[in-house]
Amino acid sequence: MSQSYNRGLVEDFSRWKEFSAGMWAWIFHKFTGWVLVGYLFTHIAVLSTAIPAQQGEMVTNSAGEQVSVYTNTLSLLESTFIVRLLEVGLLAVAVFHILNGIRLLLVDLGIGLESQDKTFYASLVLTGAIVIASVPTFMAGIGGA
Amino acid sequence: MWLLQRVTAAFLVVVLAFHFFLLHFYHHAFEITLMGTQTRMQDVGYFATMWLFLVTATFHGVNGVYNALVNQGISGTPKTAVKAILGLAGLLLIAQGTRVALYMNGFLA
Amino acid sequence: MSTQVPETETEAETETEPAGESHQERRMADKAAKREYRESEKKAEDELRAAEESVHLKVFRYDPEVEDKQEPRFDDFYVPYTKGMTVLDALMYARDHYDSSLTFRHSCRQAVCGSDAMFVNGRQRLCCKTQLSEMAEPVRIEPLPHQDVVKDLVVDMEHFYDQMHAVEPYFQSEDVPSEEQRQSRENREKIKMSTRCIWCGACMSSCNVAAGDNEYLGPAAINKAYRFYMDEREDEEELKEHRLRILEQEHGVWRCQTQFSCTEVCPKDIPLTEHIQELKREAVKNNLKFW
């Protein structure tokens, strides 16, 4: 065989307009999966402040009170806008992964193969709806509890 | 393996949704205190659910990452290395998570 | 460009005649070739003017052996349109009238041989089955993605064939009845769609997992295995086990992520993903039996 030329993958992102629904579903599911795994590790790390807290470690918070390091860490994080924003992002990512995951489970059971692209769009729309509906709740109480 | 990924997926759909609801809608994230957490974790049913949640999520996630890499074509030495690292990371996560849960529960002090 | 004129006379004489005369012959042959070529190009221009519409094609060109085609490029061809013209017709017109070095595979031109699968306007299609009237201009024609390009629109299909052969696509029963092997109508209906594969390679080329993982069997191979696994005429347990073992390796059915691209591009409308899913379920059921 003579030399050949590597033209790059179709999913070379400059050709994104040519992607099909199923392809987008696969890409998003992978992407949200990575984000969630990253979050899982971070989450356990943050929650690990419960160990020193349980052993009695206290700190003084912004209001001058003595609180456990666990409570303080969490309320400190929750008081920043960026963390709130990231939480909304986390919700979006998790909801999409769940809804598309349900779509995939149905496909694995042999249900809904003919309308698989429609169910993908449905899961996108539902994700958007749920996220928008939850923003007020997520943004409540910002600025310190 | 494929089946286990699906089974853990089904379990997680329910439990993750529950976890989110409880901690963002029923309670609010900014209201979480050590006391509140401890109270919840002392309930055996809740504790067991949370621990199962930890194990299934770690499995589903680590297995998912591994498969995504195999799909992308990883092979040979990098593949064995990744398998080992992911397996170890998963086990460490479960160990640390269990430890944290037991402290929250009051079992360890 | 002078490939159209047979140079047999010149070749026979070069050994015996003195250099001058064969040179003359060659020059004449060259001139004849150029004349014919110019005529065909002029013919094309006339036809273009006569036709009501012309179609603009953008065709991928690459040739490692020709200096100015070592860097891939897109060539523009303007082809007069007649009703019912397919992309293959347009390509053949371009090759016959504009550039005889344009290289592509084609054979039956009726969607049964599977030779002319290409990437047209962003999607894998059979050129002989794709109507020009349905394509937005300029019609962009590229070789199948995720496969090495040999020249112009020709890709290396060896990997595809390797995967097809790996599933042992042939009947293997040892004990055959003395008369005909009968198959029930229902069984035939079940495997009917999976028998339609023409080995065009569009599905494998559209699968992102096949692109990333070189060892993945691919939708066409798994579909072929399905065709044999589900056929009741081969009903020995060990054979089914054997087939399943090939399919349930790490790079077999499990790599499928139900992206559905294969089902979408198959020119024979085979529900590939559905067949792969059925085989996954079979493999799981088979494994659970041992517990």
**pLDDT single digits (tens) C232-278:** 888 788 888 899 989 988 888 989 988 888 999 999 999 999 999 99
- HEC string of C136-186 equals CCCEEEECCCCCCEEECCEECCHHHHHHHHHCCCCCCCCCCCCCCCCCCHH
Domain ranges for chain C: 41-155, 158-173+184-289
> Closest chain C residue to A11 measured between Cα atoms?
C208
Pick the CATH number of C158-173+184-289 from 1.10.1060.10, 3.30.1510.10, 3.40.50.300, 1.20.58.220: 1.10.1060.10
Distance CA A105, CA A103 (A): 6
**The predicted structure's pLDDT at residue C32:** 84
Cα B109 to Cα A23: distance, rounded to the nearest angstrom? 50
Long-range contacts at C286-290 (CB < 8 A, ≥ 24 apart): C286/C241, C286/C244, C286/C248, C287/B3, C287/C248, C288/B3
Q: How far apart are CA A38 and CA A20, in angstroms?
A: 27
Picking from B2, B71, B73, the nearest residue to C284 by CB comes out as B2
Place of tokens 């992308």: B72
On whether any CB of chain B is under 8 Å from the CB of C207, the answer is: no
How does residue A13 score in pLDDT terms, banded at 50, 70 and 90?
low
| Gap between the Cα atoms of C143 and C152, Å rounded | 7
| Fold entry, domain C41-155 | Ubiquitin-like (UB roll) (3.10.20)
The terminus-to-terminus CA distance of chain A in angstroms comes to 69
Closest chain C residue by Cα to residue A108: C277
How far apart, in whole angstroms, are the C-alpha atoms of residue A35 and residue A92? Answer: 11
Predicted local confidence at residue C190, as pLDDT:
92
Query: What is the tens place of the pLDDT at every residue in A112-137?
Result: 788 888 888 888 899 999 888 888 88
DSSP 3-state of A89 = helix
Instruction: Tell which residue, A76, A66, A52, has the closest CA to residue B104.
Output: A52
Q: Would the CB atoms of A110 and C277 count as touching at under 8 Å?
A: yes
pLDDT tens-digit readout, C158-193: 999 999 999 999 888 877 778 888 889 999 999 999
Return the number of other C-beta atoms located less than 10 Å from residue A92's C-beta. 18
Distance from the Cα of residue B7 to its chain's centroid: 15
What lies within 8 Å, CB to CB, of C53 at 6+ separation is C80, C81
Cross-strand pairs, C59:
C75, C141
Contact between A25 and C259 (Cβ < 8 Å): yes
Collect all residues of chain B within an 8 Å Cβ-Cβ radius of residue C284: 2-3
* Whether B72 contacts chain A with CB within 8 A: no
Q: Which domains does chain A have, with CATH numbers?
A: 21-139 (1.20.1300.10)
**How much is the average pLDDT of C208-215?**
86
Contact C209 B71 (CB under 8 A): yes
What are C49-107's pLDDT values in tens digits? 666 788 899 999 988 888 777 888 889 998 888 888 999 999 999 999 888 899 999 99
pLDDT given at position C137: 84
In this prediction the pTM is 0.79
Query: Which residues does chain A have within 8 Å of residue B40's beta carbon, measured at their own beta carbons?
Result: none
Q: How far apart are CA C14 and CA C29, in angstroms?
A: 14
How many Å apart are CA B101 and CA A76, to the nearest integer?
22
What's the rounded Cα separation, in Å, for the pair A145 and B8?
Answer: 36
What amino acid occupies position C53?
A: E
Judge whether C133 and C36 are in contact, CB under 8 Å.
Answer: no
Q: Tokens 């997992």 label which residue?
A: C209
**Token pair belonging to C231:** 């056929």
Q: Following CA atoms C252, C253, C254, C260 in sequence, which dihedral angle do they give, to the nearest 10 degrees?
A: 130
| Of the candidates A129, A139, A128, the residue with the CA atom closest to the CA atom of residue A86 | A139
pLDDT, position A8: 52
Chain B: residue nearest C256 by CA? B71
- Give yes or no for residue C34 having a pLDDT over 60: yes
Phi, psi of C55 (to 5 degrees): -115, 135
**Using an 8 Å Cβ cutoff, are C248 and C280 in contact?**
no
